[in-house]
Amino acid sequence: MAARPTLLRLDRVLANLGYATRSTAAGLLRDGRVLVDGVEMRDAATKVDPQAVTLDGEPLDHPCGVLVALHKPAGLVCSHDESEGPLVYDLLPFRWTARTPVVTSAGRLDKDTSGILILTDDSPLVHRLTSPKHHVTKEYEAILDRPVPADAVEAFASGTLTLRNENRPCAPADLAVTGERTCTVTMTEGRYHQVRRMFSAIGAEVESLHRRVFGPWRLGVNGLDLAPGEWCDINPPQ
C-alpha cells in the first residue's frame, strides 16, 4: 500500500519551498493565485498535499524534496557563505536558496576539486551519506606533480598511514596506478582534504583531483552524463 502523503498547512508549503514567507503567502491566496487540486484556496491554514498545489497554474518545484547530483567544476566552493568565493549553489535554481530545510551538500569537495556532488534538503540522508559508520564509497582520479611513489599502493592499503597533525591513521584505501603520474583512489572515509593529504604524507602533491563516484552514483553512467556545472535529479539510495 502506498504511503499516505504528508499534509501541511498551505502557507507553510509555500514558505518551505521558497515561494513566499508565511505572511506573504496570504497575499498569494487572497489574489486567487493558488489552487489545490484545481480549486482556488483562500485559507492559509488548510492542510494540503504539496503535490496537489499549483501557483499561477504551475506545479510547485520539487514539492517532495530536492535530491540532485551535480558535476562540480573546479573553482567553486561548497559553502553558503558568498565571502568564500563563487558557490556551487549559484548553479541551482535561485528559489532553492530560500527553501526550508536548506539545500546543502552531502559532504564537500574543496574549491580546486571537481566531480560528483550530492545536494539535498533531506537532513537524515545527508547524515547517512556522511556518517563514517555507513562507509560510503568515494572514488577519485588524481594527477600528481611527480611519478606515483613506488610505495603508494602499499601505503594507502596499509591502514597505518597517518596525516599531518592527526593521530588516528587513515582507513585502508585502494590505489590503482593508471599512468606515470595518474591514479585512482577508492576510499570510504571523508576527512578534510584527505586524498591530497594522503599523497602529501608519502611525498607527492596532487595537481588535479576529480571525484567520479559517490556512493551508488557514478558520473558518466545511468543518466549522470553531466558536463561541468550541470545537475540532474536522482533517486534516493536503497
Question: Residues with catalytic annotation?
Answer: 110
Amino acid (1-letter code) at residue 6: T
Q: Give alpha helix (H) positions in 90-216.
A: 123-130, 152-157, 194-201
Q: Give alpha helix (H) positions in the chain.
A: 10-16, 25-30, 123-130, 152-157, 194-201
Cα 83 to Cα 79, 108, 196, 227, distances in angstroms: 9, 17, 24, 26
Helix (H) or strand (E) holding 200: helix 194-201
Question: In angstroms, what is the C-alpha Rg of the chain?
Answer: 22
Pairing of strands 47-48, 113-120: unpaired
Separation CA 106–CA 98 (nearest Å): 18
The answer to whether 79 and 87 have CB atoms below 8 angstroms apart is yes
Adjacent-strand bridge partners of 115: 72, 211
Contacts of 34-41 with C-beta under 8 Å, sequence gap 24+, read 34/10, 36/10, 41/10
Pairing of strands 138-144, 217-218: unpaired
The x, y and z cell numbers of residue 161, run together, are 598511514
